[in-house]
Amino acid sequence: MILITILIAAIAFFLIAAVLIQNPKGGGVDSTFGGAQANQMFGAARSADLIEKITWGLAIALFLLCILATFIVGSGGEVGPTLQSQ
């Protein structure tokens, strides 16, 4: 369970970073590095597509790990007090 928690925290951190790299107006990494230079370095369309794919991949991985963690914790039995009929 500790490994899954560490993975969730790491993926959440990288997801935050990937979202912050993106520009909401469509510029993204290409405008960050100075327009024409970024086209030569990364390729404007490819860099935006790559960041978007990384973002979606991290979001899906975070979702699946959270579901997995829920099932692992849920399979441990009752945690809190239960109501018993008298």
48 vs 68: CA distance, rounded Å = 30
39 assigned to some structural domain: yes
Q: How far is CA 23 from CA 31, 48, 58, 60, in A?
A: 8, 9, 18, 21
In this prediction the pTM is: 0.63
Q: First vs last Cα of the chain: how many Å apart?
A: 36
Whole domain around residue 46: which residue ranges? 2-74
- How many folded domains does the chain comprise? 1
80 assigned to some structural domain: no
85 assigned to some structural domain: no
10 assigned to some structural domain: yes
26-74 per-position pLDDT tens digit:
555 555 555 554 445 555 556 678 899 999 999 999 999 999 999 988 8
Length of the chain: 86
59 assigned to some structural domain: yes
61 vs 56: CA distance, rounded Å = 9
